[in-house]
Structure 1
Amino acid sequence: MTSRSPNSDGAKAFQWLVTVMGASHLAFVAAVGRLRPEHAVADLLIVGLAWAGPAPRRFLRGAFPLWLTGLLLDTQWLWLGLRGPVHTGQLWELERALFPAPGGLTWPAFFASHTHAVLDFFCGFSYAAYLYEVFALALLFFFRKHPRFERLCWAFFLVNALGLVTYMLYPAAPPWYIMKYGPGPADLTAPPSPAGTARFDALLGIHYFAKFYARNPNIFGAMPSLHASYPVLVAFQVRRHSRAWRVGTVAFAALVAFSAIYLQHHYILDVVAGVSAALAASLTVEYAFSRRGAPAAASMPLMPGGDSRA
């Protein structure tokens, strides 16, 4: 008689957990009439990975927080009715008092009438690439068998959870909304807007941001800026690696932070809050992994022959 190992039992439990969650989510969005092709792809992918073998399952164990994040963001419409009163003019006035732009404007309003095609291109590009940077680093960590793979994925989940909780407790209108509708009572029927990113679309003759923001279920999620958060997560994860990694990721984080303001999607205050949320999430995950006794990640380079610093 052979005995089952605890690892084997744990793998089976994980396989069935993923299968039930993926199938349940797919059935739910189909039942409520919100099924999109990406739902089917994501849900069927995680179920397939769970049963495809040890290596795919190892990837899924680390990347599972990414699927959970997608689930959180995609189901915002379920709880939007529970959020508190929407704040419209408060951030606008506080921003103008703390960070006044020429003419007594906020900086998003100033940049709305001071644009340049070069800035439109680079800011639009960074605003599109910010999410792919996270996924690219996660894949690099996985294929390099780097212990920071799981840490990055869990930090990504946590910073999004912090953002969504804040959206519930302090729903706030973005600058483009105030510039279009004013600081009065919130118009809950106002459609989402690509704001300044529409100039990037026009520059390239595409509709990327128009389609991206058309699917946004919550336009009153200015505070914090998760656009500013994601590149900070990446910079935090590579902070002990080569100077090229550190300088490159910090520079990209700074570009995205500027873009959030230049494109009228966020205030400086939102960016500061987004950076703070990213650091809080990263440090919390670091502490949790250190308590778990996870292997140290400082000594392993990202690329063959690369350096890393403790």
Structure 2
Amino acid sequence: MVSWRVVSGLVIAGYLVALVATTLVNGLPLEHAQLFFWIVLGLAAVSLRAWRSWGRMLLEWTPLLALLIVYDYLRGAVSVSDAHAHITPQLDFDKWLGGGQVPTVWLQHHLYDPGHIHWYDVGIWLTYLSHFFTIWIVAAILWKVAHDRFARYVSVIVTVTLMAFLTYWLYPAQPPWLAGDLGEIGAVDKIVPTVWGHFGVRTAADLFETGDGLVNLVAAMPSLHAAYPATLLLFFWRDGWRYRIGFGLYTLAMGFSLVYGGEHFVADIVVGWAYAAIAFTAVALAGRLLARRRAARGDQGVTASERGSIKTFA
């Protein structure tokens, strides 16, 4: 009789083969619906023996998917013309920080060679690309191995994402490469799509070149690319020095990649980090308040996640 371990291994192997084959044919699944499909399918594959949990999995992941799909469409809906997007405050901040120089322009002048792809250009491309996957893969891991932390994690991610959307709506802002195109600063190359095109990933390159799908060209303030790694750093800070170093280096690497790559001003990144701190603190305080109210009512149903929220600020 075939064991569950063998069946589970075959299912996981089939999942990986299908994922690789689909990626080779259609490109990387960057769009939220595609990405979530593969994440949930992967969770189902590794939870084959616990198939009764699939209903709960769909119940907990579907609202998050729906929210992010709506967010994608709404973010594009609040876009304004390039010339009317804000530039002065973030440019003034970057010049102040750079002693009169714009950090992006300075870095590209000293490091970037338009005729040659350096190893660090590939490095910033991979770091930038990780934004589309890391935050959701971590969510999947938490759902599987630390389910009591999943709801709080998702709450922080949703909070910082909605904060960013509100800012995009109220304050559309130019990224450095667009400011360069409009003559606001010196010439800036878009290094990430250049590297992407060098490797021939057509679907992903089109995403950057046209502005369709996931990208709003004037949704630069704050940088969610910077906010998400900072959120991971804060969320896992109490889990030990390995997490602090790992996510700390990831946060800094993402920040450098965004500035050097021409995708964001330093000001966008600093505000993204601040948003991550605000969202994390707000969710933790809300959890702490909710847990204390339940405890005051004598409610015995306080979850481990809520107790963790109390300890966070105790």
- TM-score, length-normalised on structure 2? 0.68
Number of residue equivalences:
250
The two structures, once aligned, show a CA RMSD in angstroms of 3.5
Residue number among 278, 295, 299 corresponding to 2:303 in the alignment: 295
Letter in 2 for 1:131: F
Map of 2:85 onto structure 1: 86
Cα shift at 1:138: 0.8
* Pair 1:228 & 2:226 matched: yes
Distance 1:235 1:38 in 2: 23
Matches within 5 A, 1:52-63: 55-63=53-61
Cα pair 1:176 1:264 within 8 Å, conserved:
yes
Matches within 5 A, 1:100-119: 100=98, 104-115=100-111, 117-119=118-120
Cα shift at 1:261: 0.5
Cα pair 1:223 1:273 within 8 Å, conserved:
yes
Out of 105-114 and 254-263, give the one that drifted further.
105-114
Letter in 1 for 2:103: W
Structure 1 unmatched runs, 5+: 1-36, 185-192, 301-309
Cα shift at 1:86: 2.2
Deviations 1:77-134 (Å, cap 9, x if unpaired)?
Answer: 334469xx521344223321x2126xx4301111222335122111110100123111
- TM-score, length-normalised on structure 1? 0.69
| Structure with greater proportional helix content | 2
Change (3 A) 1:201 1:40: closer
Map of 1:156 onto structure 2: 157
Map of 2:7 onto structure 1: none
Cα pair 1:173 1:220 within 8 Å, conserved:
yes
Letter in 2 for 1:211: D
Residue number among 199, 203, 218 corresponding to 1:204 in the alignment: 199
SS of residue paired to 2:132: helix
Cα pair 2:223 2:269 within 8 Å, conserved:
yes
Deviations 1:195-247 (Å, cap 9, x if unpaired)?
Answer: 12023224534346423323255211111111000111111221111322221
Out of 67-76 and 163-172, give the one that drifted further.
67-76
Map of 1:265 onto structure 2: 263
Letter in 2 for 1:234: L
SS of residue paired to 1:136: helix
SS of residue paired to 1:250: helix
Distance 2:271 2:32 in 1: 30
Distance 2:196 2:66 in 1: 28
Distance 2:35 2:89 in 1: 41
Distance 1:173 1:91 in 2: 9
Cα pair 1:65 1:156 within 8 Å, conserved:
no
Cα pair 1:66 1:157 within 8 Å, conserved:
no
Map of 2:6 onto structure 1: none
Matches within 5 A, 1:184-195: 195=190
Map of 2:144 onto structure 1: 143
Change (3 A) 1:284 1:129: same
SS of residue paired to 1:156: helix
Cα shift at 1:150: 1.3
SS of residue paired to 1:87: coil
Cα shift at 1:268: 1.0
